[in-house]
Chain A
Amino acid sequence: MSMGRFLLKRSAQGVLVVWGVVTVVFGLRYITPGNPVTFVAPLDASQELRRQIATELGLNRPFYVQYFDYLWNLLQGDMGYSYIRGVEASGLIFARLPATLELAVAASIVAVVISIPLGVISATRRHEPADYAATSFSLVGISTPNFWLGIMLVLILSVQFGLFPTSRRGIGFLPAVAMLFTEFEFSGLVTWLAHITLPAITLGTYFTALITRLTRSGMLDELGKPYVRSSRAKGLPETLVRYKHALRNTLIPVITVLGLQLGTLIGGAVITEAVFAWPGLGTLLINAINARDWPLIQGSLIVIGTGFVVINIFVDALYAYINPQVVH
């Protein structure tokens, strides 16, 4: 199979998965307790007002009509109107997406930049102090709860020492970059960096620890394999053996985990977003769930689900690129 056909096949499968996600998410509203009207109408509203609001939201139509209506609108890019806010759900979701993506990518960068070198060092200097330091770091990183770490970082670095803003997103990344190019002004980027540093560290720590361990064990595994021994026997320089051959093979599972974790970060950054008042998709979703705002819940879940699918396809392609055997 050629690379093109491989990608095509994966994409077709991806579309099916997305459709499945839409259906499951749509079905969720029928098994979730709590009527959305309760949240739009005041607690003491009359039954008459409740009926009126239900009609206005289109909730009194049969299930299949609502489902096919939703699918048809979705194909045209319309996710419906938020029950509570009365504005287009898609607008709200896509306005939130950049903040979440920024945070997820920044956390991943923090993780990759720290974890892979750390994992490699720890594997190549096994049982030396550097190895112990790296493994202890990853142990602490994995066992530290996100919200605690976030609050501690804020208390120490922001409130105590005033190094960073305590929370919020000062400016978006793209506007910051635009500012740099149109006005030759660094301050936007600096503000962005100042605001994102603590949340990115908070969100990235667990991830860093995870990848460090994965890299370490993968690397140890590879270094013990016969091809490494024969490369060394042939007289290849040690750096070439370690970083070109062993590391490359180690990275295959690491990339898979990275990809999947990026998806998790997009959907699961809720706690970090709450601690840092970060206006991302996670908080939007939680608020929507608390208010049974179904168009928003469905829209956010579909966007997150689609994100997962796209990342998976991308990871598969990367995987295939690194290890061409996969395609066949």
Chain B
Amino acid sequence: MAHDEGTSRRKFLTAAGAAAATASVAGCTGGGGGQGTTTATDTTTAETTAESTETTEESGGGGGEFAVTITQGQMPTTLDPQNHRSTPTDNVVLHAYEGLLGRDRKGKIVQKLATKYERQEPGRVRFTIREGVTFHNGDQLTPEDVAFSINRIVKENVGIASPQSDQLAGVTGAKVVDGQRAVDVMSDGVNPVVFSLFATYCDVMQKSWVQERSKSEIAKQMNGTGPFKLEEYQSDVKVEFSNYQDYWREPAAVTSLTFRAAKESSTRVNQLLEGETDVIVNVPPQDISRVKSTGSTRLSAAPSTRIIYNAMKYNVEPFSSPKFRRAMNHAVDLQSIIKNVLSNFADPTGQPTLEGFFGYNSDVNPFPHDKSKAEKLVEESGHAGASITLHTPVGRYLKDVEIAQAVANQIDQLSNVSCSVKQREFATLAGELTDGKLETAPNFYLIGWGNATFDASQTIIPLLTTDGALTSYSNDKVDSMMEQAQNQGNKSKRDKTLQEVNKILHDQAPWIFLNRQYSVYGVQNRVQWKARRDERIDAYAMAPADGQ
């Protein structure tokens, strides 16, 4: 930003004044006089105010220049769009790389590099590739590039063992269709969610560009088809883009885009308030009023695709009893947690699928808070006097520990169950959950699950079917219905099946259904932008605010 590299006399004066102020403060504490402090502070304040006005003018108006800085909690781990699984990395690489399909702000599938997509036969779909798309190095996008990109993810022998191969679940490979500008993608089985997957995953890279580079070079350079091209990358410090003039749509309104990171949420808020950055992620509830109260910043929030829940292992007492599990749901006052812990930036849930997702059952409501009903159900389950421990990660999800403590506290208030919290480091807890063995996982734990495909199956299959990678539950009926759903090409039938599964899961209550997490951003008023549901920050959608 102009703030740093600007070269001016003012800058010098500011710092000199600051140094003087510091010295006098130090002098003060060391027993010196205090008079100098006041003078120094006054001068510097005046100088700085003048300077920040200048900065705003520079970035907002003048000659169509529109520079935007986005500060996340973490920097991208890599610039290789196919060799990572982290949202902060996605947010950065997706400005330079694009997929065949994409999503709009609300989650609806839209065309990107494919102009047509259709099913050919069970297990084979065809994408027609857009003409006139160029990579940042000037080369045309070809169907070979697309097929190579898909194969690089799903096939072991093409480049890397991509951690994203499971994101294109069921896809076995891709090949160019002879004589046409199209690519066929093969799957084992019907793969009803295949377009949904491609709308969220699979960024297209240029075959020759990838093949000419080492793994480590691909992690540091970029060559995509997206609206922004890489200008400068300082690992862990910043990623700087400029808008790509030959983009196949209109060039972006943002002319220069910088990504930075600050792990501490209060640091991000301070940067925003000082005008050092334009968009910050995850404004914590306690800082919401600070962001709202200044005239130049605002909040933008959207329900995310992440659900927070407490899994109860189905095969250990007392959780083996559905009555006991329902009792736990009734014991929790979800509304109060959402209001008091999360400042209303969350929605209550009553099934594993979120509202707006394919397969969501709108007839299913969250469990109402009912202490006496909970106590009665515990009695009926035969587990009165049970003592349980809730394992929770620390700092992984918004207010995770506070949510866990509130849940445990409310369960503990039942006359016939006692509950405590055990704080865990996420790494260890995740290790226990993902080792493929149900026995090693804790009996009762809080965890969050993000599902960017907007399809119920991507939550239910891994988390609630017998062979799911992170499962805590097993029910033959759910298993067979999910298998049925995964082989149903007919959309409305599939929707119905998934809705039924959601109803069963609500009634069986394998989880304490908690909240849907919100993504809460702090934004400078000079930037026009609205938060998205899938946690992505799309700078292409940003524009200067009116009158700026």
Contacts and interface: CB of A to CB of B under 8 A. Distances in A.
Q: Do A and B bind each other?
A: yes
A316 to B, nearest CB: 32
A297 B166 CA distance: 28
B49 A44 contact: no
A190 B11 contact: yes
Given A39-B427, A92-B235, A191-B4, A86 B11 contact: no
A191 B166 CA distance: 46
B161 A274 contact: no
B44 A163 contact: yes
B267 A33 contact: no
Contacts of B8: 187
A163 B21 contact: yes
A86 B216 contact: yes
Interface string A174-218: 000000000001110011011101000100000000000000000
A155 B156 CA distance: 51
B270 A158 contact: yes
B7 A85 contact: no
Interface string A13-44: 00000000000000000000111001111111
B262 A277 contact: yes
A323 interface: no
Interface in B423-449: 425-428, 430-431, 433-436, 449
B426 to A, nearest CB: 7
B383 to A, nearest CB: 30
Interface stretch (B73-81, B360-368, B407-415, B496-504): B73-81
A166 B167 contact: no
A207 to B, nearest CB: 14
Interface in B270-322: 270-271, 273-274, 276
Contacts of A92: 235-236
Contact of A290 (B264, B426, B470): B426
B161 A49 contact: yes
B121 interface: no
A52 B156 contact: yes
B161 A86 contact: no
Contacts of A33: 427-428, 431
B161 A129 contact: no
A40 B18 contact: no
A95 B235 contact: yes
A319 interface: no
Contact of B236 (A96, A134, A159, A164): A96
A45 B166 contact: yes
A222 interface: no
B340 interface: no
Interface of A is mostly: helix
Interface residues of B, number: 77
Given A44-B462, A114-B30, A167-B271, A161 B45 contact: yes
Contact of B431 (A34, A45, A84, A275): A34
A276 interface: yes
Contact of B4 (A133, A158, A170, A284): A170
B267 A276 contact: yes
A168 interface: yes
A193 B21 CA distance: 14
Contact of B45 (A137, A162, A197, A290): A162
Contacts of A275: 264, 266-267
A290 B260 CA distance: 20
B166 A46 contact: yes
A69 interface: no
A157 B18 CA distance: 9
A165 interface: yes
A310 interface: no
Contact of B22 (A35, A39, A197, A274): A197
A171 B6 CA distance: 12
A88 B219 CA distance: 10
Interface of B: 3-8, 11-12, 14-19, 21-22, 26, 29-31, 41, 44-45, 48-49, 52, 74, 77-78, 80, 83-85, 156, 160-161, 163-167, 215-216, 219-220, 234-237, 260-264, 266-267, 270-271, 273-274, 276, 425-428, 430-431, 433-436, 449, 462-463, 468-470
Given A56-B161, A162-B44, A168-B4, 7 more contacts: A34-B428, A44-B469, A45-B434, A92-B236, A163-B14, A166-B273, A167-B270
12 contacts: A34-B425, A34-B431, A85-B235, A88-B216, A133-B29, A163-B44, A163-B48, A165-B276, A170-B4, A274-B263, A283-B236, A290-B426
Interface of A: 33-35, 38-47, 49-50, 52-53, 55-56, 81, 84-88, 91-92, 95-96, 114, 118, 129-130, 133-134, 137, 151, 154-155, 157-159, 161-171, 185-187, 190-191, 193-195, 197, 201, 274-277, 279, 283-284, 287, 290-292
